[in-house]
Amino acid sequence: MGRFNKKTGEFTAKPSTMKSVERMYQPSTPMPIFRKGTAVKVFIGAGWGKGKVEYSDKVRCVVFLKIGSRRVICYDARNIMEDIQK
């Protein structure tokens, strides 16, 4: 998503697009280690789901999601981040 400059033909991406691209260029391992009960966001295909950490180590992180009341196991560091908005 972005805009083309008609005069130069240059493409300028939206800032939100650049932020998501930067996230995918990060290494997928090692996983960040979170304390039990930490509020996090997990990417679950359709978007980001909020939840709380149940278990975390350098290989995986188990999160209990509020929506759907289900557990998700995350193995990729790019798909989990600490929720700042608590």
pLDDT at res. 47: 87
Q: Phi and psi for 54 in degrees, rounded to 5?
A: -105, -35
For residue range 29-46, what is the model confidence (pLDDT) as tens digits? 788 899 999 999 999 888
The arithmetic mean of pLDDT across residues 42-51, rounded, is 90
| Higher per-residue confidence, 20 vs 43 | 43
**Which helix (H) or strand (E) is 19 found in, with range?**
helix 15-24
pLDDT at res. 84: 87
Helix, strand, or coil (residue 3): strand
Instruction: Write out the residue range of the structural domain in which residue 70 sits.
Output: 2-82
CATH assignment of the domain containing 74: 2.30.30.140
Number of domains in the chain: 1
| Higher per-residue confidence, 55 vs 86 | 55
pLDDT at res. 1: 66
